[in-house]
Amino acid sequence: MRRLTKKKALTLVKELDAFPKVPESYVESTASGGTVSLIAFSLMAILAFLEFFVYRDTWMKYEYEVDKDFGSKLRINVDITVAMRCQYIGADVLDLAETMVASDGLKYEPVNFELSPQQRLWHMTLQHIQERLKVEHSLQDLIFKTAIKGPPPPQPQKDDSSTSLHACRIHGHLYVNKVAGNFHITVGKSIPHPRGHAHLAALVSHDSYNFSHRIDHLSFGEDLPGIISPLDGTEKVSADSNHIFQYFITIVPTKLNTYRVSAETHQYSVTEQDRAINHAAGSHGVSGIFMKYDINSLMVKVTEQHMPLWQFLVRLCGIIGGIFSTTGMIHGIVGFLVDVICCRLKMGVYRQLKESPENEQVNSEDQNTTGGEALYSPAAVHPHSLIQ
């Protein structure tokens, strides 16, 4: 009974086979079928190869959420060269709560404002990248994925061979409260004041004012190598001694998660304005460089994503199965049309030509038989022959 049950089960399983096997003696190989198979296998290989590159590629996913971190400090990374001597200028930060931040993390280095040919080439390259970033926004994803993996961009090497160093490079970093503030560089060193702070500008002659500047780097948050900020490579040259440069910056907290780095940094957008100070014409203000920043309440999460392996296998099976089925259908339809248009018409003409000689032979035999009877019958029935 058990053997019969097993046999019935196997028979039932065989009847459910959706892929019946055809004996090889019933299969006929043709040249057209081999050609179509070769084309199909070539397409499968090419598309599978391209799909592998798609599987290896990654993309950036952007998400938005409310920034709940209010207690941490904000780091400001600065590298600015001003066309004035270091003893004539001072840099500091004053936030919205009228809190003056110490600028102990900044260094003042006497340099020349003019760049050497190699430095100028590096600076022009940085400006070209900035122009392309304004047009091709997708390049930012490429910077997130690849620029971080490489070494940091080279800083311009200053030429200290000249004895008259008339410019000052201010570089370093500051930690400020995570509120709106104002980072500025103006005439005179800053001193604390009960109502804020002040700069000792009375001892500096107005003829020595020159706030032409070059921003090699300005970023907020953790300084990640390879990240290009909007103000990197900015250069402003003023023809007037009394001139004010204003940058209005909106900072966006950013969480960056890639396969190489995971960090919390800050992106920012900027608008700028500059004008000459002329009190007689009604243009009032203080000469200097002012960067007023505000922090956005939304946080951007940038995550590098990759196609999962199961999805790659499903897409690969779809490519192979789709090409195999499509080429089989096309081959069958083309073969049917060729058979209808060419082969069957030729065979029909061949049959007419084959049957016409047989009809002629039959007709000739009928004529011979009829003619023989006509010759024989008069002699057989003529009355005179019977009388003789």
Question: Is position 286 within any domain?
Answer: yes
Alpha-carbon distance of 70 to 116, in angstroms, equals 44
Is residue 317 located within the same domain as residue 205?
no
Assigned token pair, 282: 């009604």
Is residue 169 located within the same domain as residue 90?
yes
Measure CA 335 to chain center. Answer: 44
Question: Is position 129 within any domain?
Answer: yes
Question: Is position 368 within any domain?
Answer: no
Query: Model confidence over 317-332: pLDDT tens digits?
Result: 998 889 888 888 888 8
Alpha-carbon distance of 113 to 120, in angstroms, equals 11
pLDDT of residue 350: 47
**How confident is the prediction for the chain on average, in pLDDT?**
77
Alpha-carbon distance of 110 to 87, in angstroms, equals 10
Q: Determine the average pLDDT of the residues in 319-346.
A: 80
pLDDT of residue 367: 52
Which CB contacts under 8 angstroms, 24+ apart, belong to 295-298? 295/74, 295/178, 295/179, 295/180, 295/251, 295/253, 296/67, 296/250, 296/251, 296/252, 296/253, 297/66, 297/67, 298/64, 298/65, 298/66, 298/67, 298/252, 298/253
Is residue 312 located within the same domain as residue 289?
no
Query: Model confidence over 179-192: pLDDT tens digits?
Result: 888 998 888 777 76
Question: Is position 25 within any domain?
Answer: no
Q: Determine the average pLDDT of the residues in 230-243.
A: 87
Is residue 175 located within the same domain as residue 317?
no
Is residue 221 located within the same domain as residue 86?
yes
**pLDDT surpassing 50 at residue 378:** no
Structural domain boundaries, residue 41: 33-57+305-326
Is residue 188 located within the same domain as residue 281?
yes
pLDDT of residue 3: 57
**pLDDT surpassing 60 at residue 386:** no
Is residue 193 located within the same domain as residue 221?
yes
Assigned token pair, 328: 């089989």
**pLDDT surpassing 60 at residue 347:** no
Alpha-carbon distance of 199 to 187, in angstroms, equals 7
Q: Determine the average pLDDT of the residues in 115-127.
A: 85
**H helix runs in 76-222, sequence order:** 117-135, 139-142
Is residue 198 located within the same domain as residue 280?
yes
Question: Is position 20 within any domain?
Answer: no
Is residue 178 located within the same domain as residue 95?
yes
Whole-number percent of the chain with pLDDT over 90: 15
Query: Model confidence over 140-151: pLDDT tens digits?
Result: 777 777 655 444
Assigned token pair, 104: 């102990």
Is residue 192 located within the same domain as residue 279?
yes
Decide which of 52 and 105 is more confident: 52
Reduced to 3 states (helix: H, G, I; strand: E, B; else coil), residue 252 is: strand
pLDDT of residue 293: 93
Reduced to 3 states (helix: H, G, I; strand: E, B; else coil), residue 388 is: coil
Is residue 198 located within the same domain as residue 88?
yes
Q: Examine the fold and report which residue of 295, 318, 338 is the final residue of a domain before the chain moves on.
A: 295
**pLDDT surpassing 80 at residue 372:** no
Reduced to 3 states (helix: H, G, I; strand: E, B; else coil), residue 311 is: helix
Confidence band, pLDDT 50/70/90 cuts, at residue 277:
confident
Question: Is position 78 within any domain?
Answer: yes
Q: Examine the fold and report which residue of 295, 316, 348 is the final residue of a domain before the chain moves on.
A: 295
**pLDDT surpassing 70 at residue 43:** yes
Measure CA 90 to chain center. Answer: 43
Is residue 210 located within the same domain as residue 317?
no
CA atoms within 13 A on the CB side of 179: 11
**pLDDT surpassing 50 at residue 370:** no
Question: Is position 44 within any domain?
Answer: yes
Question: Is position 382 within any domain?
Answer: no
Q: Are strands 196-199 and 106-111 parallel, antiparallel or unpaired?
A: unpaired
Q: Determine the average pLDDT of the residues in 209-234.
A: 86
Q: How many domains, the chain?
A: 2
Q: Examine the fold and report which residue of 246, 272, 295 is the final residue of a domain before the chain moves on.
A: 295
The closest alpha carbon to 119, from 166, 167, 158, belongs to 158
Phi and psi angles of residue 346, each rounded to the nearest 5 degrees, phi first: -65, -40
Of 25-29, 132-136, 290-294, minimum mean pLDDT range: 25-29
Q: Determine the average pLDDT of the residues in 132-159.
A: 63
